[in-house]
Structures are given as structure tokens and as C-alpha cells.
Structure 1
Amino acid sequence: MIAECVAPRCGEKLPALTIGPFSADHLARYAEASGDSNPLHLDPAFARGFGFPARPVHGMRLLAAFEPLLADWRPDLVLLDLRGQFLTPVLEGQKALLTARVAKIEGDGARFIAVVRLVAQTESGAPALMGEARLAPAAKPRP
């Protein structure tokens, strides 16, 4: 018998995760894997031309880093939707702090959707990304 999936509590904080520092190699490998070869992320002179002291990390790389954080927190839930707004760049050589909190629960019983607010911060504490994830009970629990 499979136990029913219990909804998380509103206001529940997820464990924080620090990612990075991001090297030139990290940026190049992400550009190749994602197909995003914007020179802003790859060419130091190009980035300086836009006023950045170093190349900015791809925003989608930061957003994607929330998926393992969410999966580790509740392996009994599946990610339905992930979105974010990019605010302040995280630069090459820097780390980012990812935090999240359950904002609301839609539905009830075993048929719920957990809405989780996401925040990535730069090393200086500025908001790099604010976003939202929606999760629901998995059809089958993951091992």
C-alpha cells in the first residue's frame, strides 16, 4: 500500500543551497549544453562593454539550479512549472544563495499543488532572481 502524499505547510522554508563559484569553464559548458552562446556570457571584453566587471552567469542556469533543491526537499512531489524574473546578475567567480518558501497550497487532500516562491541572491545579498515553482504529488513515489 502506498501512503498518501501530505501537502507541505504554508510558510515552510526549504533548505538553502549555495551554488558556484561559476568559472569560465562553467559558463562555456552551460552555453554549449543550452545553445545560449550569447557573447555576454562568454566574451569578457563584450561583457565589459555592457558595464559588467565580469561575465554574467546565464539566468536560466540559476533558475535550473532550483530543480535539484526542490527534488531533494520533497522527492514525493514532481515539478509542474518553474518560472523566474532575473533582477541582478551573478558574475563569473561568484556564488549564489538559493532559498525557497511554500507560499500557498492549492486544492486539498492528495490532489494539491504546492506553490513555492524562489529567491536567488548574489554574494552581496542582492536579489538575482525571484521566481515560482508549482509542484504536485508524484503518480508513484520516487525511490
Structure 2
Amino acid sequence: MSGEIAVGDKLPESVIGPFDAAALTRYADVSGDDNPLHLDDALAAKIGLAAPPVHGMKLLAAFEPMLKNWRGDLQLVGLSAKFIQPILRGETVTLSGRVLRASRDEIFVRLFAHGASRTPGIIGEATLRRETPT
């Protein structure tokens, strides 16, 4: 895809999940993040959560395909985020974004992941560059 990208442009929303207990267990196995908080209902309840939270890095990783679907001509070169509140197992997650800066060579996007409460669970930033032909 090509075309001008302007400050304020909204990225198409992407919906992922909901993630069930089996998906969180598989992620724990492959990532090595076997923190029981993500896997144990009783532990989650003990700290006041209705269900275990989805691994933050699993959610953060979902931004890359969203960005690629939006603009396949751009390459993701930087991604960071702050984890604001847990997104719980069983919740549908909505990913969205907005262009904050755009130049000929580099695009800077603010990213959001919202769970059921629509309060951001993750606020992130992505830096994208135009792919150079090989």
C-alpha cells in the first residue's frame, strides 16, 4: 500500500481474543513466562482479579500484524509500551492506533489495547520506516 500518511490518521481497529486458559498455557510454555498469575484462577482471585490476566507481551506482539495489515509498505523498527491495567482471560481485545508524527522516512504511531472496560490496558508507541527495496 502506498499513499500519504498524515498526523491524526487512525489505524483500522483490530480485534483479537478472547484468550482461554489453554491459549495462556501454550503461550507460557513457548515464551518461558510461566508466572502463575497468568495461569491460576485462585491466585488471580486472591489479588482481586475476576480471571488471570493475559500475558502483556502476548498482547504487545499482536500490534505487529495489525501494523503490517495497515501498511505493508512500512517496516516496524521500534515498539514499546506501558501496561496500564490487566486485560483478563476471556476478554475480547481491541487494538487501535493513531499517527502522531509522519515524515517522508519515518512514522510514529500511538497504540492502544482495550479490554472489556474500554479503559486502555496497554498504551504503546511504534516507529515505522518505509521498506527499502532489495
Which whole-Å CA distance do the structure 2 matches of 1:75 and 1:37 have between them? 33
TM-score by length of 2: 0.93
Q: Report Cα offsets for 1:73-111 as digits up to 9, x if no partner.
A: 1111100011100111111111111100111024x3xxx
Which whole-Å CA distance do the structure 2 matches of 1:62 and 1:121 have between them? 10
**Structure 2: gaps spanning 5 or more residues:** none
Query: Aligned ranges for residues 14-93 of structure 1 at < 5 Å?
Result: 14-93=11-90
Distance apart, 1:7 and its partner CA: 5.0
Give the total of aligned pairs: 133
Distance apart, 1:140 and its partner CA: 2.5
Give SS of 1:56's match.
coil
Distance apart, 1:54 and its partner CA: 0.5
Distance apart, 1:46 and its partner CA: 1.5
TM-score by length of 1: 0.87
Give SS of 2:96's match.
strand
Given candidates 100, 115, 128, the residue that maps to 1:122 is: 115
Q: Report Cα offsets for 1:14-73 as digits up to 9, x if no partner.
A: 110111111001111111121110000011111112211111001111111110000011
Which whole-Å CA distance do the structure 2 matches of 1:82 and 1:76 have between them? 17
The structure with the largest alpha-carbon Rg is 1
Q: Percent identity?
A: 47
